[in-house]
């Protein structure tokens, strides 16, 4: 299939594929706009219901893959479990690609699947499953997983029964809620990344589409400010509600094991290649310390090759995804995060809660809002491998520093307990119940002490 990977390619050979790719993406954007325009009448034929006073709100949460392993999935499931106390929660998983969920489904919530790989499909469904999605933006990371059949299934899920509130949890699902949710339904876009993390084409679609939402929720103050500026004048409310950490099982780490821990998808953004290179001098200086990385992803082979190249076999361990990361944290002393960009990394909150000494790149935007440098963790310049090596060396050499940072981190992490974050979502949703006395589409959100609000609420 074409030239070998390492064969030289001249500009004349390289340009046409890039041009064709740009043209295909531009054509898809036109098709998507046309599809949305043709489907918009659905909104007016299917009106959302009005709950009676005292009746629980019906909340439909759109999730990409409820059976997946990512931090977004975990925090959304945690939140849904909390919200079942006061609301009827349905989690709609856009895709089902494995038989069993990785994380437990919260009791009291209903989990349904839009495009279920294990459900029998007729001829039409099989044909549509071979065609690319027209509703998912081509520039969104989930596009390659979606199909035209997924589009049909998501529309069915959106309209099969009336919901009072529709919550999306990533740009493609937020845009679906904004543009096609039934008329009268409150639409909330929960975005786990900052606006400036998106490439220009997706950035423009997000700004254009999010203006139709009722509320946009961001995880950090920096992200909230970015969305508020971009959406100013639209009437959409922009609020900051951080991620909530799950209850931590067992005892925190005693920081006695000589292990540096990291976890996440093995993809370029997580920067595990930088972490491995930064650990190489540590391995030579402290032969009794080990770097342990948990995860799976497309870069596993590359990382394995890098470990071999640097002579770190046995000193750096690539381990598969674990269902009990907290137990692994209890057997470590230091947690390292080397992402190039993050929203609000749940894994840092959990590592701090488990009493680990955390060192993190100061990447946009989450770590700096979680870590008070020198007090409950260490921040180093984003992408600076030498600075990361120095920070790891300092923590390894100074047991007293590890203990001080870890003990304070455990206290700081309590601000992200579900019992603290959950009520912020409850206040947000309760403001849309008719019994609250405010219109469901407009009006201020009750602004509690921990709910940072901008837009029409200010």
At 151-205, the pLDDT tens digits run 999 999 999 888 999 999 999 999 999 999 998 899 999 999 999 999 999 999 9
Sole residue written with tokens 């036109």: 30
Q: What is the mean pLDDT of residues 107-128?
A: 96
Whole-angstrom distance, CA of residue 63 vs CA of residue 188: 13
Q: Confirm whether 46-240 and 259-416 share one CATH topology.
A: yes
What is the model's pLDDT at position 454? 44
Whole-angstrom distance, CA of residue 456 vs CA of residue 237: 6
* CA 203 from centroid of its chain's CA atoms: 17
In the chain, where the domains are located: 46-240, 259-416
Tell whether the model's pLDDT for residue 2 goes beyond 50. no
The model's pTM is 0.86
Q: What is the per-residue pLDDT across 259-293, written as a single tens digit (0 to 9) for each?
A: 999 999 999 999 999 999 999 999 999 999 999 99
The hierarchical CATH code for the domain 46-240 is 3.40.50.2000
What is the model's pLDDT at position 437? 57
Whole-angstrom distance, CA of residue 392 vs CA of residue 75: 28
Residue 47: which pLDDT band, with cuts at 50, 70 and 90?
low
Q: What is the mean pLDDT of residues 41-66?
A: 85
What is the model's pLDDT at position 247? 80
Q: What is the mean pLDDT of residues 116-123?
A: 95
Whole-angstrom distance, CA of residue 280 vs CA of residue 84: 47
Tell whether the model's pLDDT for residue 150 goes beyond 60. yes
Give the ranges where 133-189 is alpha helix by DSSP (H).
148-159, 171-180
Opening angle at CA 295, ends 310 and 64, nearest 5: 140
User: What fold characterizes domain 259-416?
Assistant: Rossmann fold (3.40.50)
Give the ranges where 194-299 is alpha helix by DSSP (H).
200-210, 221-230, 272-285
What is the model's pLDDT at position 436? 65
């Amino acid at each position: 299939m074409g030239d070998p990977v390492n064969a030289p390619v001249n500009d004349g050979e390289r340009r046409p594929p890039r041009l064709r790719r740009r043209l295909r993406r531009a054509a898809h954007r036109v098709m998507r706009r046309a599809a949305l325009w043709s489907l918009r009448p659905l909104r007016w034929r299917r009106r959302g219901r009005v709950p009676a006073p005292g009746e629980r709100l019906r909340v439909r949460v759109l999730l990409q893959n409820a059976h997946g392993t990512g931090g977004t999935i975990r925090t959304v499931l945690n939140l849904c479990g909390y919200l079942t106390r006061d609301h009827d929660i349905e989690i709609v998983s856009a895709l089902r690609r494995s038989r069993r969920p990785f994380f437990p489904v919260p009791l009291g919530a209903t989990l349904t699947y839009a495009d279920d790989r294990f459900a029998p499909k007729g001829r039409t469904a099989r044909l549509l499953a071979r065609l690319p999605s027209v509703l998912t933006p081509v520039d969104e990371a989930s596009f390659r997983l979606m199909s035209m059949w997924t589009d049909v299934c998501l529309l069915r899920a959106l309209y099969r029964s009336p919901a009072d509130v529709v919550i999306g949890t990533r740009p493609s699902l937020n845009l679906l809620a904004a543009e096609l949710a039934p008329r009268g339904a409150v639409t909330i876009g929960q975005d786990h990344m900052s606006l400036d993390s998106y490439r220009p084409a997706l950035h423009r679609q997000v700004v254009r589409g999010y203006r139709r939402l009722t509320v946009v929720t961001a995880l950090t103050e920096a992200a909230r400010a970015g969305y508020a500026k971009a959406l100013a004048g639209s009437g959409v409310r922009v609020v900051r509600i951080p991620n909530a950490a799950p209850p931590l099982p067992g005892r925190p780490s005693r920081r006695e094991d000589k292990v540096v821990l990291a976890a996440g998808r093995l993809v370029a953004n997580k920067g595990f290649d930088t972490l491995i290179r930064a650990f190489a001098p540590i391995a030579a200086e402290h032969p009794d310390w080990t770097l342990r990385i948990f995860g799976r992803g497309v870069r596993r082979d590359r990382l394995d090759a890098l470990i071999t190249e640097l002579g770190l076999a046995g000193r750096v361990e690539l381990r598969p995804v674990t269902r009990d990361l907290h137990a692994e944290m209890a057997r470590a002393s230091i947690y390292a995060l080397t992402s190039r960009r993050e929203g609000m990394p749940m894994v840092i909150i959990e590592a701090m809660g488990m009493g680990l000494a955390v060192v993190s790149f100061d990447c946009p935007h989450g770590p700096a809002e979680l870590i008070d440098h020198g007090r409950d963790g260490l921040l180093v310049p984003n992408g600076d491998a030498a600075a990361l090596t120095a920070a790891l060396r300092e923590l390894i050499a100074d047991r007293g520093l590890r203990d001080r940072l870890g003990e304070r981190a455990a206290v700081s992490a309590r601000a992200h307990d579900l019992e603290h974050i959950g009520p912020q979502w409850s206040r947000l949703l309760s403001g849309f119940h008719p019994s609250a006395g405010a219109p469901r589409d407009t009006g201020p959100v009750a602004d509690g002490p921990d709910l940072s609000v901008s837009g029409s609420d200010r």
